[in-house]
Amino acid sequence: MNKKLKGKAYVLGDNIDTDQIIPAEHLVYSLSDEDESKKYGHFALSGTPPSEAGLPDGNMPFISGEKNESEYSIIIGGSNFGCGSSREHAPFALQKAGAKAVVAESYARIFYRNSVDGGFVVPFESTEKIFDKIRTGDELEIDFDSNTLLNITDGKKYELNPLGDVLPIIEAGGLFDYARQSGMIE
């Protein structure tokens, strides 16, 4: 089986914290009410600075207008992605916004665990800094089997660290669903 994920890139820099991913003032919506939970998607990444890391395309909004989903499904970050508070709302907001994966140099431990435990987004680690080599809007393809990210726009390929045992958890929809499916719990 060759699993691949294609989508448009949304590029950020280093130290993107959970308050930038979903600002605290937007934590008032229900996670379990389908209509209210869409607001998490609408406000995802609304706390990022206008020119994050001085990137030339840092002023492009993740969500346009009144939409709840973004056209960008692969987020590219730098080191320490998801730092700050331990809120599980951060990876949940990215998922509600239509993000499928985050590719970063490194993650804050709790963001990584929340992403996996909830089955929200696939947290890939790049083997090198790539946020300065990819532009927002580039078409990307992640190959889960070869652990590579291909920038279809410019033809360059980057190595990713293997996901190991976290992929089946994410594919199951989270840790508890995985435990049920594998017979660990009823």
Domain ranges for the chain, please list them. 4-181
Q: What is the DSSP letter of 89?
A: H
Helix axes 89-96 and 109-117, enclosed angle (nearest 10): 50
> What is the predicted pLDDT for the residue at 22?
95
Specify whether domain 4-181 bears CATH 3.30.365.10.
no
**Cα-trace Rg, the chain:** 16
**Is residue 107 within 8 Å of 56, Cβ to Cβ?**
no
Contacts of 111 (CB under 8 A, 6+ apart): 18, 81, 82, 83, 90, 91, 123
> What is the predicted pLDDT for the residue at 54?
43
> What is the predicted pLDDT for the residue at 2?
65
Place of tokens 């990210």: 149
> What is the predicted pLDDT for the residue at 51?
56
**Is residue 174 within 8 Å of 185, Cβ to Cβ?**
no
> What is the predicted pLDDT for the residue at 56?
45
pTM over the 0.85 mark: yes
pLDDT in tens, the chain (186 residues): 469 999 999 999 999 999 999 999 999 999 999 999 999 999 999 988 765 544 445 567 899 889 999 999 999 999 999 999 878 899 999 999 999 999 999 999 999 999 999 999 999 999 999 999 999 999 999 999 999 999 999 999 999 999 999 989 988 988 999 999 888 888
The burial of 62, by beta-carbon neighbours within 10 Å (0-12 exposed, 13-18 middle, 19 or more buried), is given as buried
Amino acid code (one letter) for 11: V
What strands, in cross-sheet order, belong to the sheet with 139-143? Answer: 122-125, 101-104, 72-76, 4-11, 139-143, 148-151, 157-159
Report CA dihedral (39, 41, 42, 45) to the nearest 10 degrees: 130
